[in-house]
Structure 1
Amino acid sequence: MSKGLLHHVEIYVTDLKRSIDFWRWYLEELGYSPFQKWESGQSWKIGDTYIVFVQTEERFLDVPYHRCCVGLNHLAFHAESRQHVDDMTEKLKDKGVTILYEKQHPFAGGDDHYAVYFEDPDRMKVELVAP
């Protein structure tokens, strides 16, 4: 039953190619599959849920995104285990991705919250949380 689950999330980005390069490997590592692709966007799907990335129109590019303003703060994904969080953290570092709250990692969310926090190319926060 899918009642109440997210159907999809759509995110506008400043540079579609850069965002696709960033998100493709991460989403596919988590089990997402390519879903839709068109000139100004691309999506990945897992189960009944999909995530869409769309190129922001040029007239809106001078308005910077900031996760602490009104709008989306971050996306959080389930990890398989603490080891999965650790493995993905190393892959993120190898890719030069900014790890947030590094001094508190992997307990930046509290003593009972094992996760890695990082930023996408537009500085949106992403979280991978162990069960």
Structure 2
Amino acid sequence: MPRPYPDPCPDNRTGDLPAPARTAAHAHQDLRPDTGRSSTVIGPADPRASHHPEALVTRGALHHVELWVPDVTRAEATIGWLLLELGWTEFQRWPAGVSWRLGETYVVVERSPAMAVGPHERTRPGLNHLALHVGGPDAVDALTSAALEHGWTLLFADRHPHAGGPDHYAAYLDNEDGFEIELVATTSE
């Protein structure tokens, strides 16, 4: 089905033109219409990448997630591989990072010069994990098996695939840098 508006950054998908320059300082101030308070909005340096007619975006929907990683190549080999397997497409690329997009949401992995020293630890305050819809249990099992060959390890193996409870079919994966992704069965297949 064709998109109801033009692709915002066609040059980023084809590689014909360089991706927009992007740095850790790519924030701008925005006045929130619901409260009138100012909030910082983080987004790509190219404004075409995130501004679509408001009627086409669900208010409150997730816009993007940005993960600061110690090694972009390693993150691309694990997180990027998994997102591509789930139908995401590469969206942006710059020397310190890459992003993938699915619908109006995108995920960024970036090696920021402003990143604090030390490894990511999912059990500390902050992001614990990302949970992604996969399909039925068979799809979760197939993707989990493939992920183990692409730098992921299975967490909670003794309770898999019901580590989240008896009525929740999922795989919890962890990569070398400590990022966890939950692959969730959303249909009974």
Same fold? TM cut 0.5: yes
CA shift in 2, pair 1:7/1:59, >3 Å:
closer
**Any runs of at least 4 consecutive aligned residues in structure 1 with deviations exceeding 6 A, and if so which?**
none
Pairing partner for 1:63 from 118, 133, 137: 118
Match in the other structure for 1:34: 90
Q: Relative contact order: is structure 1 or structure 2 higher (C-alpha 8 Å, sep ≥ 6)?
A: 1
1:88 positional shift: 0.8
Pairwise CA RMSD: 1.5
Q: How far does the alpha carbon of each residue in 1:73-98 deviate from its partner, in whole angstroms, 9 at most, with x for none?
A: 10000011111101011112233521
Match in the other structure for 1:117: 172
Pairing partner for 1:99 from 151, 154, 158: 154
Q: TM-score, normalised by structure 2?
A: 0.65
CA shift in 2, pair 1:64/1:26, >3 Å:
same
Identity %: 42
Q: TM-score, normalised by structure 1?
A: 0.92
1:63 is paired with a residue whose SS is coil
CA shift in 2, pair 1:67/1:59, >3 Å:
closer
Contiguous gaps of at least 5 residues in structure 2? 1-56
1:120 positional shift: 2.3
Match in the other structure for 2:184: 129
Pairing partner for 1:44 from 80, 100, 104: 100
- Over alpha carbons, which structure has the higher Rg? 2
Q: Which amino acid aligns with 1:123?
A: G
Name the CA distance, whole Å, in 2 between partners of 1:72 and 1:13: 13
Contiguous gaps of at least 5 residues in structure 1? none
